[in-house]
Structures are given as C-alpha cells and as structure tokens.
Amino acid sequence: MTITIYGIKSCDTMKKAITLLDTLDVPYKFHDYKKQGIDKDSVQLWVDELGIEKVLNKRGTTWRKLTEEQKQAADANIDSAIGLLVANNSMIKRPIVEGSYKSKAVLLCGFDKAKYTEMFA
C-alpha cells in the first residue's frame, strides 16, 4: 500500500491534505514538484484518467502569466497542455494523490475532505 502525494510544500491546499492524511494514519510519500520536478508520463496518466480540465489549474498566477498563444495552444491540443504542465508544474492542480490503499487504486486531484475521508477511513 503505497500512496504518493504530489504538490508544492508551501501550498495551503497541500497542507490541508497532508494534515488529513496524517490524522487518518495514512502512510504516504511526498513528491515536491519544485524540488523534484515531474515527468511527462505521470502527467499524461493523470490527464488520461482525470481529464485535462481537472489537472490543469487555470485559476493560478502561472496560467495568467502565459502568453495568449500558449493558452490557445494548451486549449487546442492536449500534448501542448501536457508540455506546459511539465514545464510549469505549479499549473497542476494540487494535490495529486496516487497509488493504492487497502487494495484499492487511488487517483485524486484537488482536496475534498469528504472524498479523502471516504477513500482512506
């Protein structure tokens, strides 16, 4: 049973997710995008399973700082969007929780206390 939580340590949403996992005694590994980066295969899997709308954070400052051409390319082509996510990992919605727990596959994006509690309780 291995869970990995992906994100950025300083993110408030990450802190909430980590606190809840700790409270529920769920063992996990933390993968910090800022220090460790993220590979294209992981992002591709998340997009394939969850959809680009769920994985790509268009509300953050990194998205707003992109050029109109970059935004249009990401909206028009999944491969362009994935390339942008790998290059600008702070645009990935946080946290991504992936792995298996009690023989169940886990892939969550974002923080929803009720979903986490249901999955890990």
Please confirm, yes or no, whether 109 is among the known catalytic residues: no
Residues 94, 5: contact at Cβ < 8 Å? no
Contact 110, 93 (CB under 8 A): yes
CB 64 within 8 A of CB 71: no
> What is the CA angle 121-97-65, rounded to 5?
140
* Burial status of residue 63 (CB atoms within 10 A of its CB: 0-12, 13-18, 19 or more): middle
Q: What is the dihedral of CA 119, 37, 81, 115, to 10 degrees?
A: 10
Which of these is catalytic: 3, 4, 5, 11? 11
Question: Known catalytic residues?
Answer: 11
